[in-house]
Amino acid sequence: MPKSIRVGMSEIVVAETLDILVTLGLGSCIGVCVYDPTIKVGGMAHVMLPDSSTSKEVTTRGKFADTAIPDLIELMQKKGAAKHRMLVKMAGGAQMFAYPGMSPQMHIGYRNAVAVEKALSALGLRVSGKSIGGHSGRSIYMDLATGTVKVRMLNSPEIIL
């Protein structure tokens, strides 16, 4: 029976077991899942913010899209994953709170999604499946035996990416 490996906020986890990587309660955050189907190595990052340049000190590289994505790919490669085989899926980026006249800077979910895709593109990777935006939080489950990513939202059917 596979066990669940929890990926917390701002964390990056890479595993080669046949377990399930899980991140719960993604609001404006983005869960990025990367999988190499040949060697069954998978990784997940729970990204909170788009850009580390506004932070005085980056102590948690998994927090920002521009640092989390390169680190996730590097950790995957250290486990033997090859970039040309990597499948990338992402979920999250909801706009959990909105009000009239809200500044575009406050649309963190959208900005996170754009930053994640930009960081992936800079590494020559593209997203093959995603569930992004809206106003509902998400939880994601990545099966390391198959690479299947399931997305669950409250009062919605399960999405398989």
Quickly name the fold that domain 4-147 has: 60s Ribosomal Protein L30; Chain: A; (3.30.1330)
Domain boundaries, the chain: 4-147
Return the number of other C-beta atoms located less than 10 Å from residue 27's C-beta.
17
Catalytic residue among 12, 22, 29, 34: 29
Q: Cα(110)–Cα(134) distance, rounded to whole angstroms? A: 10
Each of the 161 residues of the chain gets a pLDDT tens digit; together they read 788 999 999 999 999 888 999 999 999 999 999 999 999 999 999 999 999 887 777 778 999 999 999 999 999 999 999 999 999 999 999 987 766 666 656 689 999 999 999 999 999 999 999 999 998 999 999 999 999 999 999 888 999 99
Active site residue 33: no
Quote the pTM value.
0.92
Q: Which residues contact 103 (CB under 8 A, 6 or more apart)?
A: none
Q: Within the chain, how many helices (H) and strands (E) appear?
A: 2, 10
Distance CA 95, CA 81 (A): 33
Task: Return the beta strands (E) in the chain as ranges.
Answer: 4-6, 12-15, 20-26, 30-36, 41-47, 87-92, 127-132, 138-143, 149-152, 159-160
pLDDT score for 5 = 95
